Structure 1
Amino acid sequence: MIVEQIPSEFQQALPVLKTIQDNGFEAYFVGGSVRDTILGLPIHDVDIATSAYPAEVKALFKKTVDTGIEHGTVMVIDHGEGYEVTTFRTESGYQDYRRPDKVTFVRSLADDLKRRDLTINALAMNMNGEIVDLFGGLDDLKNHLIRAVGVPAERYHEDALRMMRTVRFASKLDFAIDPITEKAIAENAPLLAKIAVERIHEEWVKLLQGRNIKRGVQAFIDTGLYQYCPGLKDYRAELAQLLALPAIKLTSEEAVWTLITTLCELDDSQVSRLLRQWKSSREIIHNTLKARVALRALRQQQLDALMLYQTGLPLLLVANQVAAFFKNQVDETALRTQYEKLPIKSKRELVLTGNDLLKAKIITPGPWMGQILNTLEVEVVQGKVANQTAALMGRACELAKQSD
């Protein structure tokens, strides 16, 4: 196969390939960028593999960065763009099921490609657009099939995270998983427990953001991988609900966790604990908890002005996206309009401050001042008082008298 129209991302990197080839070495585009080009999908990172050893690569270019030189990777800087150039290599001795004990640089593209995880990721493309396919990856792309390179069990023993990558790609591309490959995942699922949570986390979130999450989730459950992920072992039935829900795309990690924790009927403390187990950031935990409150309001048709204000537009959109799974989604344009009509979007927009209250001698410093400002904030949002100095001063006086 020859790619007739080489995407601009590759064209910009062609000088790097040409420099390497002009000096007697082989060089190819490899990995996901080649796969996505064939599928007509957007390209992200352009990776290059070469028969040149790291020191040889560095000698060919004026500016390089040793981003992973122990594994053969050198970042080549060309016209302000950085390209990872990795030497063909073989790997051996995966005692921890995560990383090779030994990396050996080789001159053979075939030896390099056969260590890769999936056939659709073991494709290479030369500077003329010709595809090198040694393991049937092109046929698998045509047939919408996810299949491990070589013997699946060997690939998963080399790096157990590849099992999560397999089910994630089923979701991302809406491809079926080859039965032999899926059987190998089921047989080796316990190895996932040896993988760092952070690495599993990335694959899990991507799985739930795929084109057809049902494919990935079905395999995730059927193979038993869920049993070796933090906090999910006892929630098979709840996870299975994803298979019966409408096919709506999730676009953020907050949306993923809002959906999962709602299906599992977790309370806020359980949500916080689960997300800490998954090594989620404090911001993600905070945002998920807020989105869950808005989701409940949407599902109960109780999304009032105060809820809009307290949630904020970004998390309102997250909650509304998840609400679609429960058929409680509202029109997004109407939701945005409703939010934009709020009198204020944050407390900073109140025209009255604590200093104003002190100068007017309405109240002395203390906890009541904060409580009065909080009340004014809520009442402005609810439309009970106008966000105008005179109106707020008058209402503040009433509140101050009540506090006496």
Structure 2
Amino acid sequence: MLAPFTQATPLLEMIEAAGYEAYFVGGSVRDSLLGREISDVDIATSALPEELKAIFPHTADVGIEHGTILVIYNGVPYEITTFRTESGYSDYRRPDQVKFIRSLKEDLKRRDFTMNAIAMDRTGKLIDPFNGKQAIATKQIITVGNPEERFGEDALRMMRAVRFVSQLNFTIEEETLNALAQMPHLLGNIAVERKLTEFEKLLVGPSNNKAISIIVQTGLFNYLPGLIGNAEGVNRMARCNLMGLSKLELWTLLTHQVGLNDREASEFLRQWKLPVKQIKQILKILQWLQYRLDNQWTRLAAYDAGKETMLSAEILVQSLTGLKTSSEAELHKFYDQLPIKNRSELDLTGTILLSWFKKKPGPWVNHYLRLIEEKVIIGEVANGQADIREWLNNCNQKLEKD
């Protein structure tokens, strides 16, 4: 077994020694079968929360109403959840009623997909009542039982299905896919924050093109913020080369492909409830992407964009056009040769300008600083106070007119 399992095995042994069952469950078991790296493990048990507290001295109630407690063992936190059944999903997300049980199979039965409904005991033996291992072998996403029931219980499972397509390069089994196409409206009941989490994992997955196409095919896009009725825009995104793009670049590309102007782009990103800092970064990349689609980089454009934004805009141009433009190394060299990288490197300040011209502060100071900045960047003026003052003296009459 992998190290995270062996490190947690003593917990299973302690629970069993107290007379209960305990197993590794969920994504860690799935990923171990896929040969993917795992960082933590989830444990399910027949022991009730209060029985677990009697076994382990260091616990915290992180979701005790659903049977989950946090056990601290050797300084490492582990989530341990009591076997349970669920019923009544009035909000299409969370069960109205949770009942603790002693049956592992009944607990696995409530899970979303067969690949996530596999348990493993402390010796590494698999308990797989719904043929999840077979689904993994054939790279299929199949719901546990009736897909309409599973999606009706928790509509976010529809997004999870497509997210797994992106992350694992699996296909969605036909009956499960048909249910997705019949029930996308249920996604309207899910909070934007929950959709965002799944959508961003989908965006950065290695099979994101495939997953985005499924979002259009099933109609799920109509229940995602800002995408209603824009199948063509989302399809344009799916047809791009998305390999190697960062999360911010993917958001920028999506915003561009759905055809939004600056004001609409800002509103679109706010609808997704992205952090303000990220929205500003995306809008900046979008601005320079639009510039670059019509222009080559100049020294002044590179300076105003900044190195990271310039690199992002360039890779998006390549994604959109399929053309091999300037390489990252070439752009790094181009940017690094700029005389200054930001205004703080300019050998001049507003205070110095005020002392030279003996004028009151005002908008003219920033205007002059920008003019000088531009001249330094394009190489017409050296970045030194003497050279700058000489240029100002020669051009003062024209500047005063401006």
Question: Structure 1 length as normaliser, TM-score?
Answer: 0.91
Asked whether the 8 Å contact 1:205–1:256 carries over to 2, the reply is no
Instruction: Give the counterpart letter for 2:371 in structure 1.
Output: T
CA offsets per residue over residues 123-178 of structure 1, 9 Å max, x none? Answer: 22222222222211111111111111111011001100111111111121111110
**Matching residue of 1:403:** 400
Range with bigger deviation, 340-349 or 356-365:
356-365
Q: Within 5 Å, which residues of 2 pair with 1:10-89?
A: 10-89=5-84
**What is the rounded CA distance, in whole Å, between the counterparts of 1:361 and 1:244 in structure 2?**
57
**What is the rounded CA distance, in whole Å, between the counterparts of 2:385 and 2:114 in structure 1?**
68
* Candidates 384, 387, 398, aligned match of 1:388: 384
Distance 1:69 1:319, change over 3 A: farther
* Candidates 283, 287, 296, aligned match of 2:281: 287
* Candidates 104, 107, 110, aligned match of 2:102: 107
**Matching residue of 1:373:** 369
Number of residue pairs the alignment of both structures matches: 398
Distance 1:324 1:8, change over 3 A: farther
Distance 1:176 1:395, change over 3 A: same
Asked whether the 8 Å contact 2:242–2:250 carries over to 1, the reply is no
Asked whether the 8 Å contact 1:89–1:103 carries over to 2, the reply is yes
Q: Within 5 Å, which residues of 2 pair with 1:92-103?
A: 92-103=87-98
Distance 1:370 1:70, change over 3 A: same
Asked whether the 8 Å contact 2:43–2:79 carries over to 1, the reply is yes
Range with bigger deviation, 358-367 or 115-124:
358-367
* Candidates 152, 155, 158, aligned match of 2:150: 155
**Matching residue of 1:203:** 198
**Matching residue of 1:298:** 292
Deviation at residue 330 of structure 1 after TM alignment: 3.3
**What is the rounded CA distance, in whole Å, between the counterparts of 2:91 and 2:365 in structure 1?**
59
Range with bigger deviation, 154-163 or 362-371:
362-371
Range with bigger deviation, 305-314 or 271-280:
305-314
**What is the rounded CA distance, in whole Å, between the counterparts of 1:313 and 1:43 in structure 2?**
35
Distance 1:120 1:317, change over 3 A: farther
Asked whether the 8 Å contact 1:210–1:249 carries over to 2, the reply is no
Percent of matched pairs sharing the same residue: 44
Distance 1:93 1:299, change over 3 A: same
Asked whether the 8 Å contact 1:363–1:400 carries over to 2, the reply is no
Asked whether the 8 Å contact 1:208–1:250 carries over to 2, the reply is no
**Matching residue of 2:313:** 319
CA offsets per residue over residues 347-372 of structure 1, 9 Å max, x none? Answer: 22323222333344554322211222
CA offsets per residue over residues 37-94 of structure 1, 9 Å max, x none? Answer: 2212222442222222222223333332222222222222233332222222211100
Range with bigger deviation, 182-191 or 27-36:
27-36
**Matching residue of 2:184:** 189
Matched, 1:264 2:258: yes
**Matching residue of 1:309:** 303
**What is the rounded CA distance, in whole Å, between the counterparts of 2:318 and 2:115 in structure 1?**
32
Deviation at residue 225 of structure 1 after TM alignment: 0.9
Where structure 2 has 5 or more consecutive residues not aligned to the other structure, the ranges are: none
Partner of 2:193: helix, strand, or coil? helix
Partner of 2:119: helix, strand, or coil? strand
**What is the rounded CA distance, in whole Å, between the counterparts of 2:371 and 2:88 in structure 1?**
65
**Matching residue of 1:3:** none
Question: Structure 2 length as normaliser, TM-score?
Answer: 0.91
* Candidates 254, 268, 290, aligned match of 1:274: 268
Distance 1:359 1:161, change over 3 A: same
Q: Within 5 Å, which residues of 2 pair with 1:120-139?
A: 120-139=115-134
Asked whether the 8 Å contact 2:237–2:253 carries over to 1, the reply is no
**What is the rounded CA distance, in whole Å, between the counterparts of 1:383 and 1:297 in structure 2?**
22
Deviation at residue 28 of structure 1 after TM alignment: 2.1
**Matching residue of 2:334:** 338
Matched, 1:172 2:147: no
**What is the rounded CA distance, in whole Å, between the counterparts of 1:198 and 1:399 in structure 2?**
55
Partner of 1:403: helix, strand, or coil? helix
